[in-house]
Each structure stands twice: as structure tokens, then as C-alpha cells.
Amino acid sequence: MNDRPPSTPENAPRLPLIRIRGLTFRRGRTLVLNNLNLDIRRQGITALIGPSGCGKTTLLRIITGQLRPHRGSVQVDGVEVSRLPRKQLLELRKRMGMLFQNGALFSDLSVFDNVAFPLREHTGLSKDLIHILVLLKLQAVGLRGAHDLNPEQLSGGMARRAAMARAMAMDPMLMMYDEPFTGQDPISMGMLLSLVQRLNHLLGMTSIVVSHDIQEVLSIADDVCILSDGRIIEQGTPELLRRSKTPLVRQFLDAAPDGPVPFHYTASSLERDLAWES
């Protein structure tokens, strides 16, 4: 059975690349995602932001089929991810790229071999063609001259860019970035922001960026989704979100220490705790 709905060149661009409806996911008794609805449009950059622990990375793992939802629908390019047999899921994943927070480069492989790895594993391309493709990917991220270095010889920003080249090796339709700017100095962050935006445009990809670097990610995003309590509480362009009056949105964008997300963890009264008897 083919899970992909029929599409034509006329209607395909108008359909969202990712369509999520009624998504619910639990970890034990903890409700992580609660009846979540979300569309990710094609060939744009969507920023997914929200308080720590609100389910952003979990959502990426569900989109890639690493986790299965307890209820709801997750479609990627018209395919219901959770219903795919393993073989078809692996084929779908070849069309996805993932940049992990720590880069996750293979420490015993050179930069060149890290980028070549998915091409060698998943294609039947010749050695010469793989050599050309790897150098082109490294050129795109400014690291062609570092192709023979090992990961421990790279700075943090260079390692992140090498990981980006590897994630793009298979020319994915969808790129996902999980906290790509964490721990970067201003120059490295500027390079990464420029790369995410430029490569998304040049390659016609769809990108999802999970980040706590609010102002930076808003500068490149086409759409912004704010996630809290397992739901999308507000979605729109960066300009629309900046004008939002929703208290939680304002607290998050303004980095206010107290508000709907309280500074104090729930506790009994201070007087009661101070009056305890040993």
C-alpha cells in the first residue's frame, strides 16, 4: 500500500511538508506533547522555541520516526511516519538531515571521511564521484581546506560546520537543527546563522531550528512556533510574534525571570519550612 497521496506539480508546493494533528506523547506518567497540531511549510525555515523540557527535541524525534506517538498523526511529505515499516522508514530518513547539538562527528574519522560516510553507506556512487561531492559540501561550509583534519583538531564552530556538511551529504529535503548555536562565539554563530539561511535557500530545503538563542534564530526564521505545556501556544512570522501580547510569549521573548513560567519551583510556605523541628 502506498502511503503517499497523489500529487501534481500544481498542488504539491501548496501542501505542507510536515502535517501534525492531535499528536500526544507520554513518558511514563508525564504528558510531553498534548494534542499538538502543527504545519511546517515547504522550503522555509521554521524556528521551534519554548521553555526547556517542553518537548521540542521529542517532537524532532517523532518526526524522524525515532519515537512513536501514543496518539495522533504525523505526516512527512504525505507519508504517515508512524505507520511505515522499518525499511520504508529508513528510506524516508535518507531524505532527512539532522544536526545534533554536539555535532556527533566520528572521532576516529577525518573530516572528509565523516562527510563521505553517509554517501558510502547509502549510495552506490563511485569513489571519484563521492570525492567530488564531499569536497563540494565542505566548500559550501567553508571547510574544504580542513578535509584531512580530525575532529579534535577543529574549533567548536568548525566542528558544527563539518557536522552540517555531513547532514547535507544526501541532499535532504528536510534539515533539522537541535540547538545548533549553543556554545558558539559571536563569529561562529554568525557563520552558522548565515549557513542555515543561505543553504536552505540555495538547496530548496525545509529547515526546522530548535534553539534558545531567540533573537538570533528570529533573524533567519520565516515562521516561529512557541511550544509550551506540550502545545503550540502561538505561531506566526517573527514580526507577528514580536508584537504578541500573550504573557508566556512575552516572558520568553523578553527573557523575563518570572511570569507564567515561575521563578520558584512549587513549594510549601517558607515560614513552614523554616519552622521545622530536627
For residue range 234-261, what is the model confidence (pLDDT) as tens digits? 999 999 888 888 888 888 888 788 777 7
DSSP 202-231: HHT-EEEEE-S-HHHHHTT-SEEEEEETTE
pLDDT score, position 14: 64
Percent of the chain with pLDDT over 90: 51
| Mean pLDDT, the chain, whole residue set | 87
Strand runs labelled E in the chain: 18-27, 30-40, 45-49, 71-76, 79-80, 96-99, 174-178, 206-210, 223-228, 231-236
pLDDT score, position 1: 40
This prediction has a pTM of 0.84
Q: The sheet that has 223-228: what strands, in order across it?
A: 96-99, 174-178, 206-210, 45-49, 223-228, 231-236
What is the band of 276 on the pLDDT scale with cuts at 50, 70, 90? Answer: low
In terms of pLDDT, which residue wins out, 103 or 119? 119
**Could you give the 3-state DSSP secondary structure of residue 139?**
helix
Is pLDDT at 53 greater than 80 in this prediction? no
What is the band of 269 on the pLDDT scale with cuts at 50, 70, 90? Answer: confident
